[in-house]
Chains A and B, each alone.
Chain A
């Protein structure tokens, strides 16, 4: 049945983007750590390889744009749910140009494109958590109420609740979905606080998987044919304690993906791809 909310985690395509040389020096960041461009590119290549080779997704790789140092973080440029793609209006002005290429790529995939024309609205895809049943939109430095409203308009089937992001860059800087009805959440106070808000706001019940490190809570869940539950998560090198938690997920195919360099730019695993399900569900 082509019903609503069917097939959470089903993806066929992924959109990624290359890393421009300007990333190392010009990309926005909240920390002062030095970014090794080559390492970053190496990481990203590995990431794309996992999506393409290991998971069999059709990967659309957009070319890097030197004028857009943050362009590798494609997640912020679009929110895709079902057949609808909302082209965002990133909160950082320097990133607004990233949406152009994304929009074209999504058009090529025959998605229904919705754009934000309101100049007062800002929305980063990193602030949008889709649980399969509803949206949570973090109100952060990058996303405002108006942006969330437009998202709610774009995806009318779903409840859209707002969650204040008091610390961290994005809502998904400390949480993500680890499966249907499973929220992976960091253990920091603000992360836990946000989780409670989400739980309170929801008509649905979510299980939670608490990991010691906020950044480790950002992982990528997929439900793929022949593979079942797949979870891309951080490596032991980065967050050994959190990995132990992930390893308790017995039903998941666990794929550690290194993110040592991009994390310095506040880039998490979900940031580097836009996942799309193009196959029509069985009817």
Chain B
């Protein structure tokens, strides 16, 4: 988020300084994002990147993460070593850019704009403080004016704060720090806005202690203002770990709760204490560890799991304890040798289980004997093969209460959200079933996709212990969803390849990405010593740290066997579609397919469901219908409702910036300019909004009542979006597929998910922002604002909205649209302009519904009235998130029948829908605040079409959805068997989401998909083909 914030700030600055140079600002923002990923690189390359802009990103995509990481590390490391020299250079070169990345902290603050509204000055100050160099600019237009006044104060405060912090933490470096601060001030003066302080205070160094998985400690020096990413890289470097995306650093917050260190944010701002103590842990447990490329990665995973098992976090039976323990013994000590007493000693010293006893130890030894000849790596693999089957493997539990106050546990895992009461699983929400994730205060909400028999989505609410835990849960959900469900961060996020953080949004690569990256690993298997960690007081070489040194038995084993195919593919960065498809196919086999609860089988109102659902969802349902449609279409929208209005604008700005950078230049400029106005408008509105906004925020999901009651601070709408394009092939044999709608929904979901990633990142950052957000009553307003930012982050996501829906929903859209419009249109600073812009957009695009929306938008924008439109809000949010969608070009679509194409350029929403689609309720909506993206939806239908319109689906006999994900492609196969009047129909809907760079020929991909579908089901006919394409203009240019 910080990145976003930074971008915004930059943008603002640019606007302030020179509104005429919007492009630069955009570029800068992009750069900043990149910078965030690899601060070091960015700094050095700085301006160059700015110019290169998109190109650089594109290239960066292909670069293996570790490459970049190394660069970043190298760069960063030098800075540490010789801080003084580098810093000045970096400052100059990087200038604004540098500030942006640093700003991460700001973004959060920005989110909390509410405060800003009330106390703009304070916010600025805070921001400045956080950044050190204070990129106060985020204050934006509103603030800008104020900023002039406040700036001096802020500076003072910041310096003071910095000094204080420094003193506290490290008196040693105080002098340097101060010097830095001074320098920063000087720079400020040099630069246009004082607010922006270049982080020169880097000089300060803090010693971080990281507890590794083997129990050893790793210490390293880090600049006081370093981001989490830096430390994480250092640790990974120390561990010689390349597949690092599964891991993360944790720290204990002031309440002694374990939190994940956000790589994109400054460490200092996260720990909030002077306890620079961290722990290296597995963050995402790979569902299939055998797909990991390197043994060292598996070894680390084993270490984590051993601890999980021994501590009882991962419960397992006696037999399993013994089995896992025996593999541990084999891995650490090799074959059982009765003569050697060591294993016995070891075994009693070692903790294998929380309730370890003699019987278990004997059992372990007994099983150990049976592993003779097994290499350590093999033993690890066996360990993991068994551990992964445990029901609680990779499940992150959070205490909560249901709507009736019953104690439950919420478990977040790769597949979704699990609900436990005591040890019993009482409900489960697979990611595809979840439309939105949000939290407000200590409430955590998920909006559930309606089941086959249900018309409306429902929202399930849980109470967490406090706001912090709600936010923590929310973040974990966002991260897990994006990691496991999304293929790739959307194009804007290209930075993904940069290690930890892909740039903004979701600071990490998805599993798909990390797998691809892993397949590219080309190094001899690193040898590492399997020290049985400290646990064993082994008389080996004393310090058991997992040194990169060569120790091991494993060396031979460490080959990267698994992904030969992948490697070949991956090597060719310019993959042809065919390659990609093949690749996907091969990958799809490898990758586990998510089992989704068949859409038709939504959770039946069972006892607990009733309980759970009783919350807001049920009541609101009726109202939600419209929304539901939209949502289904847009299914995945991660919208975050942030508290402070002020913050939201910033976010939006950021988002806009990002999109702009990614996409076309024209809209961008206007956007930048416009943004400031928006902010002002938003700010003004804030008070009002706050009052009403809550409703709007909630509105998406639920009943107004609840909405009002519960303000959603952050909402994540899960959208899976295909950056490149969606190719949906629906083949139905005998009968019509009733499921078309569902399918579309699925698509939407997919899109939404993708969006989520982006959003997630953004959200996460936002969420992190501050607890204060909780207090903000303005949630609603904030929501709109926040949503926008999120959208921006997500940028490229495309939502499909049916024309009908659009019309109906139009009112709702406006709010969201307004922001986007602002961006796209060239309007400057004036809210009215924004509205105008909005109007303009629709015209260009030709969508009637769009126009309607646009009209509404203007109204809404200023007041944030959109909130009132419950359904709309979500839609709006989604679209916004999708940002990408906004610009839709009616570029020539390959295939013959275009039911409807609504090219939208620059416009927020572009929807191309078939008449059928309309009937079906399918909606292709693209709302993009920023024009960066083109969205096209083309539907080809066979004449037969009963279409979904037929309405009577008959009796659904079976429905299953199979999703396979590869790096670039997500294939969702939805098979529905329906009984209609004695005839059974089998309908197979395949949704193929191709996420990729321009290299992919979508037309070819479509043709290929259709061909494959025909081949696979020769007895069936293709009745409907829907092509939904979202493209970032910028990318295309590449």
Q: Which positions in A face B, CB cutoff 8 Å?
A: 1-5, 82-84, 112, 133-134, 137, 139, 145, 148-149, 152-153, 155-164, 193, 195-197, 199-205, 208, 210, 283
Contacts and interface: CB of A to CB of B under 8 A. Distances in A.
A112 B320 contact: no
B424 A4 contact: no
B603 A82 contact: no
A162 B428 CA distance: 11
A58 B831 CA distance: 83
23 contacts: A1-B385, A3-B382, A3-B385, A4-B386, A4-B390, A84-B318, A84-B319, A112-B318, A139-B607, A145-B424, A148-B424, A152-B424, A156-B315, A160-B423, A163-B606, A196-B603, A199-B597, A199-B601, A201-B425, A201-B428, A205-B962, A210-B957, A283-B367
Given A148-B424, A160-B423, A204-B595, 11 more contacts: A3-B323, A152-B424, A157-B390, A160-B424, A161-B424, A193-B604, A196-B600, A196-B601, A200-B604, A202-B595, A208-B958
Contacts of A164: 606-607
B417 to A, nearest CB: 12
Nearest to B607: A164
B428 A202 contact: yes
Interface in B661-716: none
Interface in B385-437: 385-386, 389-392, 413, 415, 421-428, 430
A157 B603 contact: no
A84 B602 CA distance: 34
Given A156-B316, A156-B317, A157-B317, A201 B424 contact: no
A139 B430 CA distance: 23
A160 B320 contact: no
Interface string B767-795: 00000000000000000000000000000
Contacts of A137: 424
Nearest to B609: A197
Nearest to A161: B425
A152 B595 contact: no
B323 A2 contact: yes
B453 to A, nearest CB: 10
B428 to A, nearest CB: 5
A160 B317 CA distance: 14
A204 B594 CA distance: 8
A70 B853 CA distance: 69
Interface in B598-627: 598, 600-604, 606-607
A84 B317 contact: yes
Interface in B420-475: 421-428, 430
A152 B423 contact: yes
A162 B426 contact: yes
A39 B843 CA distance: 82
B370 interface: yes
A43 to B, nearest CB: 33
Interface of B: 315-320, 323, 367, 370, 382, 385-386, 389-392, 413, 415, 421-428, 430, 595, 597-598, 600-604, 606-607, 957-958, 960, 962
B425 A158 contact: no
Closest 4 CB pairs of A and B: A159-B391, A152-B423, A196-B601, A205-B595
B742 to A, nearest CB: 15
Contacts of A83: 319
A233 B315 CA distance: 36
A8 to B, nearest CB: 12
Contacts of B390: 4, 157
Looking at chain A's contact residues, is the secondary structure mostly helix, strand, loop, or mixed? mixed
B320 A157 contact: yes
A89 B607 CA distance: 23
A156 to B, nearest CB: 4
A134 B957 CA distance: 24
A197 B606 contact: yes
Contacts of B391: 134, 157-160
Contacts of B595: 202-205
B423 A157 contact: no
Contact of B604 (A157, A197, A208, A283): A197
A192 B607 CA distance: 16
B422 A149 contact: yes
Contacts of A149: 422-424
Contacts of B958: 208
Contacts of B413: 203
A248 B296 CA distance: 48
A2 B367 contact: yes
Nearest to A133: B389
Contacts of A155: 317
A128 B957 CA distance: 25
A274 B317 CA distance: 21
Contacts of A82: 317, 319
Nearest to B388: A4
A1 B382 contact: yes
Contacts of A200: 427-428, 430, 597, 601-604
A196 B451 CA distance: 11
Nearest to A204: B595
A161 B419 CA distance: 10
Contacts of B319: 2, 82-84
Contacts of A161: 424-426, 428
Contacts of A3: 323, 382, 385-386, 389
A152 B421 CA distance: 11
A156 B316 CA distance: 5
Nearest to A134: B391
A186 to B, nearest CB: 14
B370 A157 contact: no
Contacts of B386: 1, 3-4
A121 to B, nearest CB: 12
Contacts of A196: 598, 600-604
B389 A5 contact: yes
Nearest to B601: A196
A238 to B, nearest CB: 24
A195 B604 CA distance: 10
Contacts of A199: 597-598, 601
A281 to B, nearest CB: 11
Given A2-B367, A197-B606, A203-B595, A159 B425 contact: yes
Nearest to B962: A205
Contacts of A5: 389
B153 to A, nearest CB: 55
B959 to A, nearest CB: 9
A82 B320 CA distance: 11
Q: By CB atoms of chain A within 10 A, which of B386, B389, B390, B606 has the most? A: B606
B370 to A, nearest CB: 4
Contacts of A157: 316-317, 320, 389-391
Given A157-B389, A197-B603, A199-B601, A152 B422 contact: yes
A162 B611 CA distance: 15
A124 B960 CA distance: 31
Contacts of A210: 957
Q: By CB atoms of chain B within 10 A, which of A84, A139, A157, A193 has the most? A: A157
Nearest to A283: B370
Nearest to A2: B323
Contacts of A133: 389
A210 B607 CA distance: 25
A134 B425 CA distance: 11
Given A3-B389, A149-B422, A162-B426, A205 B320 contact: no
Contacts of B318: 84, 112
A139 to B, nearest CB: 8
B470 to A, nearest CB: 24
A187 B606 CA distance: 18
A99 B323 CA distance: 30
Contacts of B600: 196
A205 B595 CA distance: 6
Contacts of A202: 428, 595
Nearest to B370: A283
Nearest to B312: A156
A202 to B, nearest CB: 7
